[in-house]
Structure 1
């Protein structure tokens, strides 16, 4: 991938990923308030806002982060199958996205119930999923920054091939 395109893809990926993390943090705050508040209007508003955030912010950012992450891995030297940390990020992102998509139906049903009932207090929240999602996204962020060492068997073979090709090129230039 050309340098300018690679940088644009990276900026897009980081923006979507950090946006997803921030949106989940906001959602978690609303979830906590909706579960603990004794004010009917606050509980109702919390559930309605949670549904909006999930539908219009979190799901689009999660899908965009997944797609842009694949573009980044396939279009850069990091590769998709060369480093364990890239595979771990992919696996965590896919799992988080699948759980999120399954959970959107629950969030929508809870918002619908909160809007239709006189007293939505006492409704269960999605707090375990919110906190779990936040932890997973923080772990993905840590992997992105730390980039722990460790090549996959495929990555090791590619590295050896690259070294052999480079070595042959130097020998041909010298000879």
Structure 2
């Protein structure tokens, strides 16, 4: 099933907006994490990081993944037609899992401000570095579309 061109363009627009939003909020989290690591007031930086992360980053990550998955299913690119689509889906799925299961507990710990544990602080700095890198890789995959189509084995005529 594929969408008509106007719906496909609307879905593509939503996909780009959510992905760019994810990258933008990632930059905000990275900026706050660096500020915390460089000695900014932890009672200001970490609760702010927790607020932005929990109220914007986590929901936007889920939305971006859902829209990307819908785009793969409902557009001519298809979910199982091109290797780059599968790799990109794999990257974003791993990132979403990391957001939900690794970053979210650190965001909750960041609500403590100066009492945020050191390992949570390190995780709050490392997560946006990794996430930003992976989002840039996913963007490159969308731009260059490497590796071609996935070949399906079809029985040869007798």
After superposition, the Cα gap between the structure-2 partners of 1:121 and 1:87, relative to the gap in structure 1 and judged at 3 Å, is: closer
Equivalent residues in 2 for 1:62-101 (5 A)? 62-101=61-100
Q: Unaligned regions of 5+ residues in structure 1, if any? A: 158-175
Conserved 8 A contact 2:88-2:138: yes
Gaps of 5+ in 2: none
Q: Counterparts of 1:101-140 in structure 2 under 5 Å?
A: 101-102=100-101, 103-112=103-112, 114=113, 117=115, 124-125=121-122, 126-140=124-138
Moved over 4 A (4+): 120-123
Using the size of structure 1 for normalisation, the TM-score is 0.78
User: Over the residues paired in the alignment, what is the CA RMSD in angstroms?
Assistant: 1.9
TM-score by length of 2: 0.86
CA, structure 1 residues 70+131, in 2 after alignment: closer, same or farther (shift >3 Å)?
A: same
Partner of 2:5: 3
Larger radius of gyration: 1
Please report how far the alpha carbon of residue 33 of structure 1 lies from its aligned counterpart in structure 2 after TM superposition.
0.4
Contact 2:49 2:107 in 1 (8 A): yes
Equivalent of 2:26, from 18, 24, 27?
24
CA distance in 1, matches of 2:50, 2:142: 29
| Number of equivalences | 149
